[in-house]
Amino acid sequence: MIVGGTAFAQVLSSLLSPIISRIYTPEDFGVLTVYSAILGMISLLGAFSYNSAIPIAENDEKAANVLGLCLLILCISTVSLALLLFLVGKPLLSMLNAEQLLNYRYLLVIGFFLTGLYTVLMSWAFRKRNFKAITKTKFTQSITGNSVKLGLGFLNSGAIGLVFGRIFSESAGISTLAAPLIRREKHLLHNISKDGIRWAAKRYVKFPLFSAPGLLLVSVSSQLPSIFINSIYGAQVIGLYGFAFSIVYLPMGLVGKAIQDVFYGEAARIGRSNPGRVKELSNKLLKRLIFIGSIPLAAFVLFGPVMFSFVFGSNWFQAGEYARILSIQAFMYLIFHPISTVFNIFERQSTFLILNVIKLILAFAILGLTVVLSLNSFMAITLLTVAFSFVELLKFILAQRILDIAIRDKQ
């Protein structure tokens, strides 16, 4: 069901992309890419990863207190971000070579809060297996986000139209996810208490200690290339790169995320009681994802520049060259990343953290090499793709190892 909703979002975005690419410039997409990079680096810290504990809590009463804890942390972190941007926003963005966001910096606060709220409510929906509501949000996000981009684009809004589209695309559907909680499960909210929140914070402390830093490292290492490309090669190149990235991850990233969410919901329900079943599901998932991802991978590698030039306009030919490279990274992410949820289910967040330290070190090493050797943008992106693909493979191998150990201990 969720995959169907995601497929709709993918098809709609694909159909509208040729229009959007013609009413916005590469420079506009450059602003969006840098905005998305910074928001991506900070948004995962909205609830300090406590939301990952909601689906695996022992019962609904305890899960409700985890939910309350998440909402409390999200409010505190949003206020903190607003104060930070107010006090040192200009020098901070200048340090990140993101001066083009100076006029949009407070939109980071709005995006941070709405994205965090959606993520927390999504975790509750997975616990309750409310896949219908989740699927509905996929429709809502796609329609709303693309409508905002088109509407503001035709009004010649410039980059702000893309930024608002990004915010609405990430957060649309919040009311859909909140409605069942408020209407049918309101009694659970009455169980939220100070003692319950304290218990939740202590019981699942591994999530902020290991998962949150791990996710931050994932995000930083993933978004760091955008910041450096913007700094080294300029607004036009980052716009072309960002557009290529968004198109490549459209068919593979969205489907992979939906399948990952379903796998996490099922695996969290099974939990440690049947690790053999979790491994069986992961192996079936891998085969299915290889089949799904092979088609777009072949299309991008063989025809990327031609497709981009024909579909999106001649201004985007170079983006097609980037797409050729990025499609390999997207494919590896698609087939290997979904099983990484095993690290949370079996509470092996420390292993996940180490993996992401390795990824960040590789990212800094390659970017340093790019500066020292004055590599062109194509070579830099190729090296990053190889490094990130290796980390995805390593992630899968270690997740399988965790399952093997759990199966052996169960026997």
pLDDT tens for 261-298 read: 677 777 777 766 777 788 888 888 888 888 888 988 99
Q: 233-247, pLDDT tens digit by residue?
A: 888 899 999 999 988
Q: What's CA 178's distance to the chain center, in Å?
A: 21
Residue 210 pLDDT: 77
Residue 7 pLDDT greater than 70, yes or no: no
* Phi-psi map region of 173: left, alpha, beta (phi>0 left; psi -120 to 50 alpha): left
Q: pTM for this one? A: 0.78
The overall average pLDDT reported for the chain is 86
Percent of the chain with pLDDT over 70: 94
DSSP 174: H
Residue 5 pLDDT greater than 70, yes or no: no
Of 91-100, 239-248, 286-295, 378-387, give the lowest mean pLDDT range. 91-100
Residue 188 pLDDT: 86
Residue 275 pLDDT: 78
Of 5 and 305, more confident: 305
Which of 9-13, 177-181, 300-304 is most confident? 300-304
Task: Single out the residue of 220, 264, 7 nearest to residue 122, CA to CA.
Answer: 264
Residue 338 pLDDT: 79
DSSP string covering 256-304, please?
A: HHHHHHHHHHHHHHHGGG-HHHHHHHHHHHHHHHHHHHHHHHHHHHHHH
Taking each helix axis from N to C end, the angle separating 105-127 and 26-43, rounded to the nearest 10 degrees, works out to 50
Asked whether 78 and 112 are in contact (CB, 8 A), the reply is yes
Residue 251 pLDDT: 65
Residue 364 pLDDT greater than 70, yes or no: yes
Residue 2 pLDDT: 54
